[in-house]
Amino acid sequence: MQASTGKLQALFRQQFPGLIMPLSAAEAVSALAAIAGSEAVIADTSRMGAYLNEPRKRFHQTAAAVVLPAGVETLQAIVRWANENRVGLIPQGGNTGLVGAQVPLTGTEVIVSLSRFDRIRAIDTAAGVMTAEAGVILENAHRAAEAQGAMFPLWLASQGSARIGGVLSSNAGGVNVLAYGNARELTMGVEAVLADGRLYRGLNALKKDNTGYDLKDLLVGAEGTLAIITAASLKIFPLPEDHETALVNVASPEAALELFQFMRQRAGSRLNAFELIPAIGLEFQLRHGMLDADPTASPSPWYALIELTRMAGTAPGALQQALETALEGGLASDAVIAESLADRTRMWAFREQMSECQSKEGASIKHDVSVPIAAIPRLIAEGSAAAERLSPGIRPVPFGHMGDGNIHFNFSQPPGADARSFMARYDEAIHTAIYDVVLRLGGSVSAEHGIGQLKVDLLRQVKDPVALDMMRAIKTALDPNGILNPGKMLA
């Protein structure tokens, strides 16, 4: 059957030399093996699981093949072949993305895994630059920097699996954004393969360089639709000597916002984190034995996890002094400062276990949204009210990066409800209600995770149409045959 399809296509190509016939999976596999070596190609669907199964278990599509090129020139040859034959390519890192950008849509695509691009090419602590290939695991990038007394300050829950190319393509950024910025701000330059197979050599790591358009920032966050990132020059920073961490009792999101302004005024760029956590999070975590002790000073409806960096040669105590002033001024009602590494670890566990503790309480509807910082209290109030009207007894669990405006506005099912019917009945309605509030407040419907396949339609509904047109024009200009991650981000 394959042979006759192949002969038929060969006949068509002979008769109509300009006509591009879609390749069969077998033809694709054969061509890729010729380019990359057969050991670098996975043709058997039953062996593709690690590349097809994404973390949210939402997308279940196969691929024509998975190819794992060993180096840039092989990757370039693959892309040239794909461009000539109109084969869709999906660049993939650690397969940790949450919106399906890294897995197939139609089943005819070839997944290109960058996992073998795993070298740290250079570290220059004097210059504050680390050059890492796209397949380097984020945690390994951290270790490489620390081995030289520096840090690469981009921390994600998935850092044990996420790889640099994917981190940059999704412009990832977690707790670190407040002090150090997101992936885009931590990237000085990229090397990438374009849709026609040519190599964009943009690794130069100059802080001041006004010789043309900012192509680097265009490629970062483009979710693999404009080029395939192969390496990046990343900013690394001197390691702080220590951190000062506290868990502070605040009465409300409004009070937390005031405390945030105060801390920002006092600490400036030393403010490393300001995370908002609701009391329900403590309730969930204690109930399910997720904390070895209660990390808080006393009961409170809300908590702020606050952290300052301290560089060598600076006297400790800045956080204590700031909190004393805050307590005197009524900006907070109680606080406890970490006195040991164990204290600090426990406080951060309290914050980092928020998603996990929800899963122990049944179904959860999640939103990755941001609003202007001053609108956070309204987001929480209006969003919670809207959700309660739809599903009485639903439990709001909003937490996250107050200093960025990025709140993980999640909702746990009412206690005792049936998880499956709760999700079936309310998932879409709650999303619509929350996105309405977010957009009304001038916010974003995807603060961190990106668009991928999950939010393509949503983007088309909510994004400024002029911006969408600009994006489409740029996409067409850089990828005229539409082979780079087709169907992701833009329809």
* Positions in 233-272 near a copy of itself (CB under 8 A): 237-238, 240, 257, 261, 264-270
User: Which residue in the set 449, 453, 486, 487 belongs to the binding site for a copy of itself (CB under 8 A)?
Assistant: 449
Provide the minimum distance between the beta carbon of 141 and a copy of itself in the complex, in angstroms, as a whole number.
20
Between 330 and 369, how does the x/- string for binding to a copy of itself read (CB under 8 A)? ----------------------------------------
| Shortest separation between residue 226's beta carbon and a copy of itself, angstroms | 7
Secondary element (H or E) of residue 179 = helix 177-180
Q: Which is nearer to a copy of itself, 218 or 423 (CB)?
A: 218
Q: Report how many residues bind a copy of itself under the rule CB under 8 A.
A: 97
The interface region with a copy of itself, picked from 275-283, 290-298, 332-340, 474-482 by CB under 8 A, is 474-482
Considering the rule CB under 8 A, would residue 423 count as an interface residue with a copy of itself? no
Residue of 3, 46, 57, 208 that binds a copy of itself (CB under 8 A): 208
Residue list 112-171, contact with a copy of itself (CB under 8 A): 124-129, 170-171
Q: Which of residues 66-105 bind a copy of itself (CB under 8 A)?
A: none
Q: Report the residue from 23, 82, 448, 485 that binds a copy of itself according to the rule CB under 8 A.
A: 448
Give the residue from 235, 126, 224, 116 showing the smallest Cα distance to 173.
Answer: 235
CB of 483 to a copy of itself, least distance (A): 16
In angstroms, rounded to a whole number, what is the distance separating the alpha carbons of residues 381 and 205? 44
User: Is 2 a binder of a copy of itself (CB under 8 A)?
Assistant: no
Which residue's entry shows tokens 């879609």?
Answer: 22
Nearer to a copy of itself, 321 or 421 (CB): 321
Q: Out of 102, 108, 249, 406, point to the residue binding a copy of itself (CB under 8 A).
A: 406
CA-wise closest residue to 256 among 308, 301, 309, 307: 301
Q: Is 471 in the site for a copy of itself (CB under 8 A)?
A: yes
Residue of 161, 444, 456, 482 that binds a copy of itself (CB under 8 A): 444
> Quick one: which of 221, 295, 383, 487 contacts a copy of itself (CB under 8 A)?
221
Residue number, 49 or 268, with CB nearest to a copy of itself = 268
The set of residues, in sequence order, having a beta carbon less than 8 Å from that of 49 and lying 6+ positions away, is none
Tell me the C-alpha distance between 162 and 102, whole Å.
12
Q: How far is CA 395 from the centre of its chain?
A: 25
The SS3 assignment for 21 reads coil
Count the Cβ atoms, other than its own, within 10 Å of residue 260. Answer: 22
Closest to a copy of itself by CB, 50 vs 473, is 473
Contact window for a copy of itself (CB under 8 A) among 62-70, 89-97, 274-282, 476-484 = 476-484
Binding part of the chain for a copy of itself, among 10-18, 103-111, 424-432, 440-448 by CB under 8 A, reads 440-448
For 330, the 3-state DSSP assignment is coil
Query: What secondary structure, in 3-state letters, does 63-76 show?
Result: CCEEECCCCHHHHH
Q: Is 380 in the site for a copy of itself (CB under 8 A)?
A: no
Q: What is the DSSP string of 422-457?
A: HHHHHHHHHHHHHHHHHHHTT-BS-SSS--TTTTHH
**Residues 283, 285, 286, CA angle at the centre, nearest 5°?**
70
**Identity (one letter) of the amino acid at 201?**
R
SS3 content of the chain, % helix, strand, coil (to 5): 40, 20, 40
Question: Least distance in Å: CB of 302 to a copy of itself?
Answer: 18
Cα dist from 43 to 26, 63, 143, whole Å: 8, 9, 34
Q: Which of 311, 342, 419, 424 binds a copy of itself (CB under 8 A)?
A: 311
Cα 460 from Cα 352, distance rounded (Å): 32
230 binds a copy of itself (CB under 8 A): no
Contacts of 27 (CB under 8 A, 6+ apart): 6, 9
Output 299 or 442, the one with its CB closest to a copy of itself: 442
Name the minimum Å distance from CB 308 to a copy of itself.
Answer: 10
